[in-house]
């Protein structure tokens, strides 16, 4: 059948065959005839006469379909409906044959020709607006060298004064917010405040900040501590440790019963020596602590003396700088006159920038033309590469379709009860192999079940062993907790090392010297603050001179800004339309 039809008609024939087999009863013969009449009449007549021919349907078409699908299903669902529709399709074939004989074949639509159009030569293209060129940025001015001009110190002084005024305003605001409503809330009398301060001092004296506090027994030896869940390894390890300790205690009691001596006297002597060493160590630590505090206070006294001398030298330095500032103001006026002349020369240089802008415009146009030519060449090259890639893909698609059109071989049916026929000793069929595998799987399941039961029995024995070990651990821990409580009671009855240190004469002498040094430091700081307030009154006389300098500087800056504005205006008026 493929040899009679063109390859382009295979798709149409496949669609018509699918409709005739599966959808003819759904759509009906009327719609099916419309679909057939819309195609080529001669080809459809030839294909339908072949498909609905009874000799073809009942012989080799049914045989080919039965090789792929079930024969009963093919005869009932495909061949039977086609045989029922064959008489009515014969009428459709007669209509097609009459139309073929009458010559009423479908005419092809006339090919559309290109209609010529005259050229629109008289219509000029509107001129596009020119793209404005960006104004070239001027070069940044270089900063003035420090040997020519230095920023004055008046700005720094102004900033410091501004910060001080701000802090003063914040302090006044805080005082106003904290000390408001004095009429509604009268202040307490001096006698009341004095009585309250004495009561507070008495309460503070009763507090013991240097006392030694203890947190009691550790959390692991408390009776009411939360239970900890132990794993198997920890339980076995702790049980073995307790058993070992119990065996050692039994051996010790046996030796004592036999007449051996106990090391209790030596242990008591050892404990006394250890306590004496600890008391001496605490005494040394307290002595070092007091000596460190005394050295810290002496260093603070030295620092305050050094700062006082540095402030005196700084005051002398400030008076010298005030004299130098007056001479500096005169020199600065001369430098400003020179800077004004320099600005005027720079303004004249801006007027000569028209020629440079014109040259820059020509250079940019030349660069744009070169870039356009390069972009055209790249676009043409990319178009050629895309056409080659498209042709290669079309050729590859044609090869794939040719491979798909090759008919496939039919699979061979397999019988499970037959052997391969290689004449081997252990040869067996697929059904026998499955049966043997089922027997082997059942034996493996029985073996796994026996193994599970054995593992469960071992687990029960292990859990019982762990429970016994936990009982032993609990009894041993209760005994250890009782012994720890007894030791803690003995430790509380003994005097603390802090109480022994309070009675030492050398430490009391060091504390007395520390208090004397602290009083000297407070007196020195009080005298330093008094001198600082006197110096602040002297500083107010020099403040008026600085205000006069600031007014003069503000007036000069205003004149300088006006001169710069006039120069910029003259430059813009002299160079219009430079784009």
473 and 531 inside one domain: no
Would you give the end-to-end CA distance of the chain in angstroms? 80
Confidence grade of residue 540 (pLDDT, cut at 50, 70, 90): low
Residues 486, 511 within the same domain: no
Q: How confident is the model at residue 185 (pLDDT cuts 50, 70, 90)?
A: low
Confidence (pLDDT) at 223: 45
Q: What angle do CA 424, 428, 430 make, to 5 degrees?
A: 140
Q: Is the pLDDT of residue 562 over 80?
A: no
The reported pLDDT for the residue numbered 364 is 82
Judge whether 93 lies within some domain.
yes
For 398-446, the DSSP string reads HHHHHHHTSPPPPPPP--TTS------TT---HHHHHHHHHHHHHHHHH
Highest-confidence segment of 138-147, 154-163, 512-521: 154-163
528 & 468 share domain: no
Compute the average pLDDT of residues 211-224.
52
Distance CA(432)–CA(74), nearest Å, equals 33
Give the residue-averaged pLDDT of 215-236: 62
11 and 98 co-located in one domain? yes
Provide the pLDDT for residue 213: 53
Q: Is residue 546's pLDDT more than 70?
A: no
Q: Is residue 134 part of a domain?
A: no
Phi, psi (rounded to 5 degrees) for 92: -65, -35
Q: Are residues 12 and 91 in the same domain?
A: yes
pLDDT computed for residue 319 by the predictor? 84
d(CA 169, CA 176): 10
Closest CA to 543 of 328, 327, 312, 322: 322
pLDDT tens digit sequence for 377-427: 888 888 888 888 888 888 888 888 888 777 766 566 677 778 877 777 778
In a domain, 259, yes or no: no
Dist. CA 62–CA 77, nearest whole Å: 12
Confirm whether 444 is domain-assigned. Answer: yes
Whether residues 573 and 543 share a domain: the answer is yes
Burial of 47 (0-12, 13-18, 19+ CB in 10 A): buried
Q: Is 39 helix (H, G, I), strand (E, B) or coil?
A: coil
3-state SS, residue 19 = helix
CA 568 to chain centre: 52
467: domain range?
438-494
In a domain? residue 95: yes
Would residue 327 count as lying in a domain? no
Please report the sign of the dihedral spanned by the C-alpha atoms of residue 285, residue 288, residue 289, residue 290: positive
* Separation between Cα atoms, residue 517 and residue 531, nearest integer Å: 22
Question: Which range among 8-22, 222-236, 258-272, 484-498 shows the weakest confidence by mean pLDDT?
Answer: 222-236
Per-residue pLDDT of 454-478, as tens digits, reads 999 999 898 888 888 888 888 888 8
Total domains in the fold of the chain: 4
The DSSP line for 285-351 is HHHHHHHHHHHHHHHHHHHHHHHHHHHHHHHHHHHHHHHHHHHHHHHHHHHHHHHHHHHHHHHHHHH
More confidently predicted of 123 and 528: 123
Whether residues 12 and 84 fall in one domain:
yes
pLDDT of residue 528: 64
Res 412: pLDDT: 60
How far is 563 from 47, CA to CA, in rounded Å? 103
pLDDT over 80 (residue 430): yes
**Whole-number pLDDT of residue 426:** 77
User: Do 314 and 533 meet the contact criterion of CB atoms below 8 Å apart?
Assistant: no
Lowest mean pLDDT among 257-261, 364-368, 567-571: 567-571
Q: What is the mean pLDDT of the chain?
A: 78
Q: Are residues 521 and 485 in the same domain?
A: no
For residue 1, is pLDDT > 70? Answer: no
pLDDT at 211: 54
Q: Note the pLDDT of residue 399.
A: 83
Q: How far apart are CA 220 and CA 228, in angstroms?
A: 10
| Strand, coil or helix: 107 | coil
- What the block records as the tokens of 9 is 């008609």
pLDDT at site 57: 82
Average pLDDT over residues 85-113: 76
DSSP for residue 352: T
Residue 141 has phi, psi (to 5 degrees) of: -70, 140
Residues 12-25: what's their mean pLDDT? 84
Per the domain annotation, does 16 fall within a domain? yes
Residue 89's CB is within 10 A of a number of other CB atoms, namely: 20
Residues 486 and 510 in one domain: no
The reported pTM is: 0.26
Single out the residue in 79, 102, 125 at which a domain terminates. 102
Please, how many CA atoms are within 13 Å of residue 201, restricted to the half-sphere of its CB?
6
The answer to whether position 514 is within a domain reads yes
What's the Rg (C-alpha) of the chain?
58
pLDDT digits (tens, 9 = 90+) for 45-75: 888 888 888 888 888 888 888 888 888 888 8
* Confidence category of residue 161, pLDDT binned at 50, 70, 90: very high
Burial 386-425 (b: 16+ CB within 10 A, else e): eeeeeeeeeeeeeeeeeeeeeeeeeeeeeeeeeeeeeeee
Whole-number Å distance between alpha carbons of 351 and 572? 9
pLDDT at position 160 is 92
Q: Which of the four pLDDT bands, split at 50, 70 and 90, describes residue 446?
A: very high
The reply to whether 461 and 542 lie within a common domain is no
The last residue of a domain, from among 430, 462, 494: 494
């Amino acid at each position: 059948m493929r040899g009679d039809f063109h390859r382009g008609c295979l798709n149409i024939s496949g669609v018509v065959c699918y409709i005739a087999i599966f959808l003819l009863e759904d759509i009906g013969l009327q719609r099916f005839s419309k679909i057939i009449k819309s195609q080529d009449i001669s080809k459809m007549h030839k294909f339908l006469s072949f498909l609905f021919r009874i000799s073809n349907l009942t012989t080799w078409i049914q045989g080919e379909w039965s090789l792929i699908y079930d024969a009963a299903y093919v005869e009932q669902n495909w061949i039977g409906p086609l045989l029922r529709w064959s008489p009515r399709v014969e009428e459709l074939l007669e209509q097609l044959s009459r139309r073929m004989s009458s010559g009423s074949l479908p005419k092809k639509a006339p090919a559309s020709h290109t209609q010529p159009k005259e050229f629109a030569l008289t219509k000029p293209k509107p001129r596009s607006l020119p793209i404005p060129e960006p104004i070239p940025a001027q070069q940044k001015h270089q900063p003035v060298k420090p040997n020519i001009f230095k920023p004055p110190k008046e700005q720094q002084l102004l900033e410091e004064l501004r910060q001080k005024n701000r802090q003063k305003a914040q302090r006044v605001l805080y005082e106003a917010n904290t000390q408001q409503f004095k009429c509604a809330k009268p202040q307490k009398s001096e006698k009341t405040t004095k009585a309250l301060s004495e009561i507070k001092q008495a309460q503070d004296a009763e507090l013991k900040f240097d006392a030694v506090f203890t947190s009691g027994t550790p959390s692991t030896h408390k009776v009411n501590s939360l239970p900890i869940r132990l794993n198997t390894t920890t339980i076995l390890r702790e049980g073995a440790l307790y058993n070992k300790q119990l065996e050692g205690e039994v051996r010790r009691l046996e030796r004592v019963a036999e007449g051996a001596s106990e090391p209790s006297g030596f242990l008591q002597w050892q404990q006394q020596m250890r306590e004496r060493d600890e008391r001496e160590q605490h005494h040394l630590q307290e002595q070092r602590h007091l000596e460190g505090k005394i050295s810290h206070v002496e260093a603070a006294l030295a620092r305050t003396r050094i700062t006082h001398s540095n402030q005196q030298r700084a005051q002398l330095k400030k008076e010298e700088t005030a004299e130098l500032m007056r001479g500096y103001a005169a020199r600065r006026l001369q430098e400003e006159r020179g800077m004004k002349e320099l600005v005027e020369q720079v303004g004249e240089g801006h007027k000569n920038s028209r020629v440079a802008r014109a040259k820059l415009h020509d250079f940019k146009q030349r660069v744009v033309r070169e870039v356009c030519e390069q972009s055209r060449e790249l676009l043409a090259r990319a178009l050629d590469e895309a056409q080659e890639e498209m042709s290669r893909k079309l050729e590859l698609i044609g090869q794939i379709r040719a491979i798909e059109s090759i008919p496939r071989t039919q699979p061979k049916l397999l019988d499970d009860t037959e052997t391969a026929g290689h004449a081997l000793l252990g040869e067996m069929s697929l059904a026998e192999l499955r049966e043997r595998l089922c027997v082997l799987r059942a034996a493996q399941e029985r073996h796994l079940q026996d193994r599970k039961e054995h593992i469960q029995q071992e687990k029960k024995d292990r859990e019982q062993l762990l429970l016994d070990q936990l009982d032993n651990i609990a009894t041993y821990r209760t005994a250890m907790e009782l012994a720890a409580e007894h030791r803690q009671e003995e430790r509380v009855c003994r005097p603390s090392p802090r109480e022994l240190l309070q009675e030492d004469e050398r430490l009391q002498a060091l504390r007395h010297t520390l208090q004397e040094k602290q009083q000297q430091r407070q007196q020195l700081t009080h005298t330093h603050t008094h001198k600082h307030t006197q110096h602040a009154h002297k500083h107010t006389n020099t403040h008026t001179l600085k205000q006069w300098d600031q007014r003069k500087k503000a007036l000069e800056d205003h004149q300088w800004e006006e001169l710069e504005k006039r120069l910029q205006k003259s430059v813009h008026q002299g160079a219009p339309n430079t784009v």
